[in-house]
C-alpha cells in the first residue's frame, strides 16, 4: 500500500512539474528572433526548452509514458534516417549536379559539397526541436495550458504593437531584443514598411523573421481563440494580422472563411450582409482598396514586386530542377535541408521528393479528417488547414514551433477521446 501511495505521489509531482515547465515554455514558444547565445544559431529560448523536454520527460514522466514516447520517437527517427540515406545514396550515384539555380540554405560560396551538405545536419537539429515539441504536447497536453498558450501569443503581439507605435513616433525601428543573424550577414528580424495614401506603416513582425512569418505564427492562435470564445484575444490578434499587411494573413483569413462556408459554420445571411458591406466599401473607396490590393496581392502574384518576383522565381526554379532530376531523386529528393524556397511545396519536393511531400500531407491532414465536431476540434482542424495552405503557397517555415504545438494538441485529442484505429474505421466507413 505504501509503495502504491509513493508511486502515486511521484506521478502527481511529475505531472505538476511537466505542467509548470510547459506554462513557462508557452510564453516564449512563438519567439524566433532572440537568441540566448547570439553566436550559436538556434539557441532561441523555445528551442532550448524543446531539447530540455527529453531530460524532463525521463525525470518526471511515468515509466509507461516514457516507453510510449521513446517508441514513437524511435519510429520517427528510423523513417527520417531511411529517407535521407536513400536520397544521399542516389545522389552519390548521379555525381555532381548543377545546384546554382536553387535557393540553397547555404549558398555554394559557403560550401561546394554535394553529398552530405552541412545543412542536412543543421536543419535536422531544427526539425528535432519541432518533433520534440510535437511529442511533448501530444503526450502531456492539458486544457489548463490554454491560458498560457494565449499569453505567449499576446506577449508577442504586444511587442509588435510597441514596434508599430515606436515607428509612428520616431520613424525608426524600436526593436531592441532581436539579436539573430543568418550567414553572419542577414538580420533575423526584417523591418519592412508599407506605404498607403502617403502614410508609412511599419509592417508588424514583432520577434519573428518578418511580417509574413508573424502572420503565419498568429493565424492558428487566432482561429483557436475564436472557437474557444476568447473574443477579446481574437480581436487583438485580428488587429495584429491587419497591421502585418501580409499576403499570408490575407491567404489565411480567406482560407478560414472558406472552411467556415464548407463546414456550414456561418449563416448565409451574415455572409451575404458582409459581402454587401465589403462591396460598398470597395465602390466608395475604390482607389484606396485597389491600391492596397494591388500592393499586397496583385504585384506578388504577377511578380511585379521584388517580393513577388523572388517568390515566383524561387518556386519555378525549384520545380524545374525537380522535374528535370533523375527519377530516384524525384522520389527521395536531394536530402533534408538542402534548399529553402519561399514556399514549402517546392522546398519539400526538392529536399525529400514525392515521399517527403506525401508524409507531410498525411501527418497534417489525418487530424483534419479524423477529429470530431466539437468547437475546439473544429478550431484545430481549421488551424491545421490554414497552416497547410499558407505553408504550401506562401511560407516555408516548418521550424516555427507553434505549428507543431497545434499539431500535437490535435493528435492528443485523437488519442484522448478515442483510439486512432476507431477514427480510421469511421473515416473508411
**What CA–CA distances, in Å, run from 173 to 122, 199, 218?**
31, 16, 21
Q: What is the C-alpha separation between 201 and 243, in angstroms, rounded? A: 8
Q: Identify whether residues 236 and 371 lie together within a single domain.
A: yes
Residues 6+ apart with CB under 8 A from 363: 407
Of 249, 279, 302, which marks where a domain is finished? 302
Q: Identify whether residues 255 and 296 lie together within a single domain.
A: no
- Whole-number CA gyration radius for the chain: 23
Give the residue with greater pLDDT, 175 vs 141: 141
Of 275, 302, 329, which marks where a domain is finished? 302
Taking residues 318-332, report their average pLDDT.
91
For 363-389, give one letter per residue: b (16+ CB within 10 A) or e.
ebebbbebbeeeebbbbbbbbbbbbbb
Which 3 state secondary structure label does DSSP give 200? strand
Tally of domains within the chain: 2
Q: What is the C-alpha separation between 340 and 25, in angstroms, rounded? A: 27
Enter the pTM of the model: 0.89
Q: Identify whether residues 340 and 291 lie together within a single domain.
A: no
Mean pLDDT: which of 282-286, 296-300, 365-369, 415-419 is highest?
Answer: 365-369
Q: Identify whether residues 403 and 276 lie together within a single domain.
A: no
Domain that holds residue 87: 1-266+303-428
Q: Identify whether residues 287 and 258 lie together within a single domain.
A: no
**What CA–CA distances, in Å, run from 116 to 92, 111, 296?**
9, 11, 39
Q: E strand or H helix at 201, and its extent?
A: strand 199-202
Q: Identify whether residues 296 and 209 lie together within a single domain.
A: no
Q: Identify whether residues 297 and 346 lie together within a single domain.
A: no
Q: Identify whether residues 23 and 37 lie together within a single domain.
A: yes
Q: Identify whether residues 18 and 32 lie together within a single domain.
A: yes
Residue 165 reports pLDDT greater than 70: yes
- The beta-strand segments (E) located in 124-178 are none
Q: Identify whether residues 94 and 178 lie together within a single domain.
A: yes
Helices (H), 264-393: 268-284, 286-293, 299-302, 306-324, 327-332, 344-370, 375-393
Give the residue with greater pLDDT, 343 vs 359: 359
Of 280, 302, 324, which marks where a domain is finished? 302
Query: How high is the pLDDT of residue 425?
Result: 46
Half-sphere exposure of 8 (CA within 13 A, CB side): 5
Q: Identify whether residues 123 and 236 lie together within a single domain.
A: yes
Query: How high is the pLDDT of residue 421?
Result: 46
Taking residues 409-420, report their average pLDDT.
76
With CA atoms as reference, report the closest residue to 399 among 40, 46, 70, 108: 46
- Give the phi and the psi of residue 230 in degrees, each rounded to 5: -95, 75
Q: Identify whether residues 68 and 212 lie together within a single domain.
A: yes
| Cβ(226)–Cβ(218) below 8 Å | no
Amino acid at each position: 500500500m505504501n509503495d502504491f501511495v509513493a508511486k502515486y505521489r511521484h506521478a502527481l509531482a511529475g505531472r505538476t512539474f511537466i505542467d509548470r515547465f510547459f506554462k513557462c515554455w508557452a510564453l516564449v514558444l512563438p519567439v524566433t528572433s532572440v537568441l540566448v547565445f547570439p553566436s550559436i544559431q538556434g539557441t532561441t529560448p523555445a528551442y532550448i526548452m524543446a531539447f530540455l523536454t527529453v531530460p524532463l520527460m525521463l525525470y518526471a514522466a511515468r515509466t509507461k509514458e516514457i516507453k510510449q514516447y521513446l517508441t514513437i520517437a524511435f519510429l520517427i527517427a528510423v523513417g527520417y534516417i531511411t529517407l535521407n540515406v536513400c536520397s544521399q545514396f542516389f545522389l552519390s550515384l548521379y555525381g555532381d549536379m548543377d545546384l546554382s539555380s536553387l535557393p540553397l540554405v547555404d549558398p555554394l560560396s559557403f560550401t561546394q559539397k554535394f553529398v552530405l551538405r552541412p545543412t542536412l545536419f543543421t536543419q535536422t537539429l531544427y526539425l528535432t526541436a519541432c518533433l520534440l515539441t510535437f511529442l511533448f504536447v501530444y503526450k502531456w497536453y492539458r486544457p489548463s495550458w490554454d491560458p498560457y498558450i494565449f499569453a505567449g501569443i499576446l506577449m508577442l503581439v504586444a511587442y509588435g504593437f510597441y514596434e508599430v507605435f515606436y515607428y509612428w513616433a520616431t520613424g525608426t525601428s524600436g526593436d531592441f531584443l532581436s539579436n539573430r543573424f543568418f550567414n553572419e550577414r542577414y538580420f533575423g528580424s526584417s523591418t519592412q514598411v508599407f506605404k498607403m495614401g502617403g502614410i508609412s506603416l511599419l509592417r508588424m513582425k514583432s520577434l519573428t523573421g518578418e511580417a509574413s512569418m508573424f502572420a503565419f505564427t498568429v493565424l492558428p492562435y487566432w482561429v483557436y481563440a475564436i472557437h474557444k470564445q476568447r473574443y477579446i484575444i481574437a480581436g487583438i490578434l485580428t488587429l495584429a494580422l491587419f497591421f502585418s499587411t501580409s499576403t499570408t494573413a490575407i491567404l489565411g483569413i480567406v482560407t478560414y472563411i472558406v472552411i467556415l462556408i464548407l463546414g456550414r459554420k456561418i449563416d448565409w445571411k451574415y455572409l451575404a450582409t458582409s459581402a454587401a458591406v465589403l462591396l460598398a466599401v470597395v465602390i466608395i473607396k475604390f482607389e484606396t482598396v485597389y491600391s492596397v490590393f494591388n500592393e499586397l496581392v496583385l504585384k506578388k502574384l504577377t511578380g511585379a514586386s521584388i517580393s513577388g518576383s523572388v517568390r515566383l522565381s524561387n518556386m519555378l526554379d525549384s520545380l524545374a530542377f525537380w522535374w528535370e532530376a533523375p527519377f530516384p531523386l524525384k522520389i527521395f529528393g536531394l536530402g533534408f535541408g538542402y534548399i529553402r524556397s519561399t514556399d514549402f511545396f517546392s522546398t519539400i519536393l526538392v529536399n525529400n521528393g514525392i515521399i517527403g511531400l506525401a508524409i507531410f500531407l498525411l501527418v497534417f491532414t489525418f487530424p483534419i479528417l479524423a477529429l470530431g465536431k466539437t468547437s475546439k476540434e473544429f478550431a484545430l482542424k481549421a488551424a491545421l488547414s490554414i497552416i497547410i495552405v499558407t505553408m504550401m503557397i506562401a511560407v516555408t517555415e516548418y521550424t516555427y514551433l507553434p505549428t507543431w504545438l497545434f499539431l500535437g494538441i490535435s493528435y492528443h485529442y485523437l488519442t484522448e477521446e478515442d483510439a486512432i484505429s476507431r477514427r480510421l474505421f469511421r473515416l473508411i466507413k
